[in-house]
Amino acid sequence: MGMEKTKGSREGMEPAAHQEPGAADGDARAPGGARGGGSRAIPGNRERRTPAAEEPEGRGEPPTEPGEPAASSTSIRADEADGDSNGPAGHGSSGGGEEAGPAGLARLSLPARIFVAITVAVVAVAVAVHVTMVFLHVAPDNTVSRQHSDAVDDYVLPEFEQNWKLFAPNPLQQNVAVHARAAVTKDDGNTETTGWVNLTALDGAAVRGNPAPSHTQQNELRRAWEFYANYHDDKSRPVGLRGRLSEQYMKRIVMRRFGTRLNGGSVERIQLRSAITPVKPPPWSQERMDLRTKYAVQPWWPVTSADLPGSDS
């Protein structure tokens, strides 16, 4: 019995930090009452309240929960500061909870919105005009395109020219070559006419085997001849201003290739002709056609200083 009492008294003398708060009173009285039944008091086993459990005067903080350290005044003030900065319902300035303002045109001033509206309208009209002009240029002949052909051509040519037709494409079924010859005056005064020079064949030879042929070698002569043929009638007479311009253009192209002197004489006149050869149908086709080359010879053109290479007039 004496040993048990000593053990119970030692348990009651353990430091308060190692006991559950609120259970110290019962634990301290239990050994003496339950086991010994005596009235001897155990030293140091009186009921005490720790400073952490005491409520500070003048503040409404809740008491500290058992097993948790008391909250310091510094942390309480920090929490209050955070609550003030966050504002009601936790919508603080740093939380990104503010609603976004009106976006787009609504943010612009009235003059800026007027400027944007005018710009959009102008661009829309310009695009509509451009699409309409190109459509009339590539569409089959109709009343509108014939009535406004001059306006359409002035707008489309040459920057926006389209070398195709809409709705009814008609690929070329013939090879067209451009030949030229010259009348030269010898130093002794005699006149000589050179043979026909196949300018198209010369361009083709320059393109074959060339990995990066120039636009001039591929298209200059061909497009110039198409321009010439479109603005000349069946009797090789020019049609309007474009017909006369096409003649000057062709003469300059030929003179740049011939030069001012040819075959030991000075070039005085030049003449062009087209050689048109139909493309042979494929073997499986039942089509029959005349494959002989047809020539369309143009009149002689005198050469002036304006037709010579390097002339700006």
Domain ranges of the chain: 1-37, 110-156, 174-280+289-307
pLDDT higher than threshold 90 for residue 245 = yes
Amino acid 290: pLDDT:
86
Chain centroid to Cα 258, Å, comes to 46
Amino acid 311: pLDDT:
63
Are 217 and 239 in contact by the 8 Å Cβ rule? The answer is no
Amino acid 17: pLDDT:
45
pLDDT higher than threshold 80 for residue 122 = yes
Mean pLDDT of 283-303: 89
pLDDT higher than threshold 90 for residue 68 = no
Amino acid 281: pLDDT:
84
In which residue are the tokens 């661009």 written? 123
Amino acid 218: pLDDT:
85
pLDDT higher than threshold 80 for residue 65 = no
For the record, the structure tokens of 117 come out as 């509206």
Per-residue confidence band for 254, with pLDDT thresholds at 50, 70 and 90:
very high
pLDDT higher than threshold 80 for residue 135 = yes
Amino acid 146: pLDDT:
83
> For the chain, what is the mean pLDDT?
74
Among left, alpha and beta (phi > 0; psi -120 to 50; other), residue 87 is left
Per-residue confidence band for 296, with pLDDT thresholds at 50, 70 and 90:
very high
Mean pLDDT lowest for which of 50-59, 158-167, 208-217, 267-276?
A: 50-59
Amino acid 8: pLDDT:
45
> What's the pLDDT tens digit per position in 152-200?
888 888 777 776 655 555 566 889 999 999 999 998 889 999 999 999 9
CA 28 – CA 44 distance, rounded (Å): 10
In eight-state DSSP terms, residue 121 is H
Amino acid 75: pLDDT:
47
Amino acid 213: pLDDT:
86
pLDDT higher than threshold 70 for residue 99 = no
Amino acid 24: pLDDT:
44
Please give the residue that has the higher pLDDT: either 35 or 146.
146
> What's the pLDDT tens digit per position in 6-20?
444 444 444 444 444
pTM of model > 0.75: no
Per-residue confidence band for 289, with pLDDT thresholds at 50, 70 and 90:
confident
* Long-range CB contacts for residues 34-39, cutoff 8 Å, separation at least 24: 35/1, 35/4, 35/5, 35/8, 36/1, 36/4, 36/5, 36/8, 38/5
Per-residue confidence band for 228, with pLDDT thresholds at 50, 70 and 90:
very high
pLDDT higher than threshold 90 for residue 120 = yes
